Amino acid sequence: MNTVKCPTCKKIVTWDNENPWRPFCSERCKLIDLGEWAAESHRITGETADHYTVQNQGEKESH
Ligand SMILES: [Zn+2]
């Protein structure tokens, strides 16, 4: 059985065709990851997304 780590929460996830959210453990983790990606692209294009930027930096520093 193949397993992967959820990129968002690092939980072990079974890589299964019946898991529509793979490699994430859940829809929630997938949406979180997509949200962070969107925040990154906002920053790159110079859009005003200060609240996203501050939140992401705070999370990374706390690890
Ligand atoms: Zn997860």
Ligand 1 center–CA 32 separation, angstroms: 9
Ligand 1 center–CA 46 separation, angstroms: 29
What pTM, to 2 d.p., does this model score? 0.55
Structurally, the chain folds into a number of domains equal to 1
Q: pLDDT for 19-60, tens place per residue? A: 999 999 999 999 999 887 777 776 766 555 555 555 555 555
CATH classification at residue 9: 3.30.50.10
Distance CA(41)–CA(38), nearest Å, equals 5
One-letter identity of residue 53? T
Task: Give 45: exposed, middle or buried? Use CB within 10 Å, 0-12, 13-18, 19+.
Answer: exposed
Q: Which of the pair, 1 or 8, is modelled with greater confidence?
A: 8
Ligand 1 center–CA 60 separation, angstroms: 16
For residue 24, give its domain range. 3-61
